[in-house]
Structure 1
Amino acid sequence: MRGNRERSGAAGGTALAKQYVQLYLLAMARPSLREKIIESGVRTLHERGYAGAGVREITSDAGVPQGCFTNHFRSKEAFAATILDRYHERTQAIMDGTLRDNGRPAVERLRAYFDAITERLEAAGWRYGCLVGNMSLELPEQSEVLRAHLVEVCRALTDAFAEAIQAGQEAGEIRDDLDAGDVATFLLASWEGAMMRMKVDRSPHPIEQFKRVVFASVLAPGVKAGAPQ
């Protein structure tokens, strides 16, 4: 009888353990409240800007109580930094599949990156541009913390451009009479400007003009240094 009770207890314990595991997996599958707020923040800040995105609007869009915001973020400034990080993570994923794809020629990688971002812009109806660019216009005078955060994000983007450009220059795909870092800085600045104009025009024309000009000029084929002319 004792053995039966022990077996019964063990079976009950196993069933309870399985139930806990199922509940844990179910909880893990659901987005956390913090995750819901972040996803809402990416959308809201992108569409309305930092000043126009209130906590009430963000939590309402996320479908969570307003008090949840302060439970997870000590300030709107800290929240904006988190949003920048999330947006940059998504951009990094595109960079990994394009700019850092060493199996393709450098010019093809650069073109693939701009085309991938263009698809995202088109999906948004040419309305919202780049969150990093939008916040770069709005935030530097309001928050030194966020300004410094934007500097780091822009530096990461510039470095990725520079690596691809350097590879193209070494392969003779891209003219090498210009410094790769200078070209990368110019690319990011002019790309952000093209997206700003795109928002005004609600049209892809500024984006396509940017591509035509840069690939015919600073990213045009060149001769490797020291090669016969």
Structure 2
Amino acid sequence: MCAPIPRNPQPDHRVVALRPSLADGAGVSAEYAALDERLAVRAPAGVPLEHAAALPPAALTAEQALDRPGPGFAGRLLVCGAAGAVGGYLVRPAALRGLHPAALARPGDAEAVRGLGAPEVFTGAAPPPAGAYDAVIDAAGRPRTVQAVRDGGRCVSLTPFAVPDPERSVDAEVYGVRTDPAMLDTPARRVEDGHPALRIARVLPFEEAPRAHALPEAGGTRGKIVLTPGS
């Protein structure tokens, strides 16, 4: 359940939320923004608020992506980009659901991804076997990972520019995050308990917004880029 937020929030109430405009792929950076209080949940205690702000888009995308293979999915799952800003939130929730997710990551990230709960980690030198998985969730923009899905399986891409080509009888889709405060409260409480730790790559001031957009586009980012207004 959502942590209760007062109907008239006070300045000292720490909350996080995902605004619908962000879920729709639109929006701007601003020092202040109006927010429907029903979208807010209690921010993780003991976490800097500018770090907690990175939680909603990544964690909600991950939690919702795990629902895409279908209700009660209990098959073989491969997470692509398991060390990234979103992929890093996919592995542990999958393990908590009773799955044993395999992961695809860069060689230097293999041990960290195993620590998240992936018993099997593939790297570029050792790609996953073709047709071995019931579902693939691609958080790294690698549409060729559809080859790892069995006939009749499901491939979920979390990046709109990396749509898997239809092949065999694989059900492929691109999925975008939606607002869901009830679902957001679960990862917020996990972060509060330290599992997993928030994945922050950089915290930059507003005037470095162009750089903040360029960093993830260059690839290799291991967490979210956070923009903060001036003091």
- Do they fold alike, i.e. is TM over 0.5? no
Bigger relative CO (Cα 8 Å, ≥ 6 apart): 2
Q: If each structure's strand is expressed as a fraction of its own residues, which one has the higher value?
A: 2
Q: How high is the TM-score relative to the length of structure 1?
A: 0.30
Taking structure 2 as the reference length, what is the TM-score of the superposition? 0.30
The structure with the largest helix share of the pair is 1
Larger radius of gyration: 1
